[in-house]
């Protein structure tokens, strides 16, 4: 098993390879890049700071996962481009399609490093409302199908389901309502603090691998859960989100669904990665 030091060494090798390929393509060909610190380590990707003189850049390195858990790399790039055209995401400066890696302009620090304030929350709500106004660019994928894919790996009647208090009946009931709703929109579908960058004025969303046509409540509940919003802050978020009128109670209920789906995804991904490693 590769330890933490080994993982860091392998990741530095991947970053160096990404820089080398970008230079071969003409990007940074006459400038020297240096590798800074890791700023976020997600389940399926991680982000690092790159420096070129006084300029900063964001390097995003993906990890391999089974197809049922990720959109294709091309689909992610297309979703990122749609969001970038709307001013909601950075346009990649260089993309290495063969290794799920890209270099982006610097757009600020992730929210995981920033204290939440009222102006920041208002900006997040505004950006989210712009995102959900984009006409759905891709076909809808049902939550039921997604959950069934996870359960085919985890096991519908497994001890893990019971140990994690996942109520499959309630989960299917709520997600079926979302699948059948006329409120479905283009959603980021992974709005955790590491995927929201803040430059002091504007928010930018990164990592679009799970972008899909879905119910806006999922994005709202993800934000509320991951940012640990109090009712006061959640009410502020909703008051500055004009796209869809919903209540605090609706978001809190949706948080339970988000938690269950995330648990299912993480366990299915863990089992799949374990199987692939063996």
**pLDDT tens, position by position, 97-115:** 777 789 999 999 888 878 8
Percent of the chain at pLDDT > 90 equals 51
Name the burial class of residue 220, with classes exposed (0-12), middle (13-18) and buried (19+) by CB atoms within 10 angstroms of its CB.
Answer: buried
Dist CA 50 CA 19 (whole Å): 9
**pLDDT tens, position by position, 190-249:** 999 889 999 999 999 998 888 889 999 999 999 999 999 999 999 999 999 976 678 999
Q: What is the mean pLDDT of residues 15-26?
A: 87
**By mean pLDDT, which of 162-166, 203-207, 239-243, 272-276 is the weakest?**
272-276
Same CATH fold, 110-277 and 4-106? Answer: no
CB 121 within 8 A of CB 158: no
Determine the CATH number of domain 4-106: 3.30.200.20
Determine the CATH number of domain 110-277: 3.90.1200.10
2 pLDDT band, cuts 50/70/90, is very low
13 pLDDT band, cuts 50/70/90, is confident
270 pLDDT band, cuts 50/70/90, is confident
Res 277 pLDDT > 80: no
What DSSP string describes 61-99? EE----GGGS--HHHHHHHHHHHHHTTSSPPPSEEETTT
CB 157 within 8 A of CB 166: no
User: Domain spans of the chain?
Assistant: 4-106, 110-277
């Amino acid at each position: 098993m590769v330890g933490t030091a080994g993982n860091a060494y392998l990741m530095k090798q991947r970053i160096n390879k990404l820089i080398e390929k970008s230079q071969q393509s003409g990007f940074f060909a006459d400038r020297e890049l240096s590798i800074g610190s890791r700023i976020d380590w997600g389940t399926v990707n991680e982000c690092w700071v790159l420096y070129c003189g006084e300029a900063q850049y964001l390097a995003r390195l993906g990890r391999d996962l089974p197809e049922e858990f990720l959109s294709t790399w091309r689909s992610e790039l297309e979703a990122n481009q749609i969001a970038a055209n709307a001013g909601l995401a950075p346009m990649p400066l260089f993309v290495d399609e063969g290794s799920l890696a890209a270099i982006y302009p610097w757009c600020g620090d992730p929210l995981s490093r920033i204290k939440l304030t009222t102006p920041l929350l208002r900006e997040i709500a505004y950006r989210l409302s712009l995102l959900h106004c984009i006409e759905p660019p891709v076909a809808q994928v049902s939550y039921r199908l997604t959950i069934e894919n996870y359960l085919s790996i985890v096991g519908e009647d497994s001890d893990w389901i019971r140990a994690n208090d996942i109520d499959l009946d309630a989960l299917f009931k709520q997600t079926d309502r979302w699948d059948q709703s006329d409120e479905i929109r283009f959603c980021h579908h992974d709005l955790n603090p590491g995927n929201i960058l803040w430059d002091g004025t504007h928010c930018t969303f990164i990592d679009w691998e799970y972008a899909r046509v879905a119910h806006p409540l999922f994005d709202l509940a993800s934000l509320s859960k991951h940012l640990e919003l109090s009712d006061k802050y959640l009410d502020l978020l909703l008051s500055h989100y004009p796209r869809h009128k919903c209540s605090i109670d609706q978001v809190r209920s949706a948080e339970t669904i988000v938690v269950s789906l995330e648990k299912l995804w993480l366990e299915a991904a863990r089992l799949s990665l374990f199987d692939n490693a063996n």
